[in-house]
Amino acid sequence: MAVLKCGRFDIDLERPRIMAIINTTPDSFSGDGLGHDIDGALRRCENAVAAGAHILDIGGESSRPGSDSVSEQEELDRVVPLVERLADWPVPVSIDTVKPAVMRASLAAGASLINDINGFRAPGAIEVVSGSDAALCVMHMQGEPRSMQAAPHYDDVVGDVIDFLDRQVRALEGRGVARERILLDPGFGFGKTLEHNLALMRALDRFLETGYPLLIGVSRKSMLGAITGRAVGDRTTASVAAALIAIDRGARIVRVHDVAQTRDAVAVWEAVRFETS
């Protein structure tokens, strides 16, 4: 049985898991940011769990293309109070951050997973997370959110992304992080053109060959807008389809805005995929 060690949780990855996106930013690309509205964020978390989310992913800094970073203190103020309120919930709480100080404070507040779009490259990041028991998602990003979509270029997008993830995994394991704590994310939309994103989706089997489970996030992203011609708020169908394609190609966790719709699609997929007694 494939199990992800995630703080006080052991997550069974034999079947796909749904990670709900909870934005505490005022400027989320998808228009669902909550800012400092902790009560609103808690209601959204409750609704996500009721809809079928297995993990809650809390983000306090927008990573949409062209976005600017926020101060360390501002991000702490946005996420730590929410993590503290969620610490005793029966689902793991993930923190989407690139800042070691936010990682440290969130772990102390009860977070079970650190989801780093920067792949733990910030000075001190590996030192902060290696001594914890949290799960760690290593994502690939070319450049930084402010400029990553200006002119992304790769000699071999699949090979380059795999090489980067391998280097970061080696760095983590070199500091004592058990492989059962590690997830990989190719980073759809983070310094990639539509062609790059499609090449990565087609090649998920090559990422599976690394032996680490995959977390995939394509929900409402511009790649889906480019394919369908639909605006951000009208990409639910495309998002569910992309999540299901990723699952069918081996992804174990999908990071989504539309939990209930994704849950229903996964339920149908599982009914066909798995025999029940």
Supply the residues annotated as catalytic: 221, 255
| Residue reference for tokens 């849950």 | 263
d(CA 72, CA 205): 37
Say if CB 152 and CB 222 are below 8 A apart: no
Say if CB 92 and CB 134 are below 8 A apart: no
The helix, strand and coil proportions of the chain, stated in percent and rounded to the nearest 5, come to 45, 15, 40
Structure tokens at 134: 């949290």
Structure tokens at 104: 């440290």
d(CA 232, CA 138): 26
Single-letter code of the amino acid located at 68: D
Q: Give the number of residues written for the chain.
A: 277
Q: What is the DSSP letter of 12?
A: E
Q: Where are the alpha helices (DSSP H) in the chain?
A: 38-51, 72-86, 100-109, 125-130, 157-174, 194-202, 204-208, 222-228, 236-248, 259-273
Q: Is 59 helix (H, G, I), strand (E, B) or coil?
A: strand
Q: Is 161 helix (H, G, I), strand (E, B) or coil?
A: helix
Task: Give Dmax (Cα) for the chain.
Answer: 53
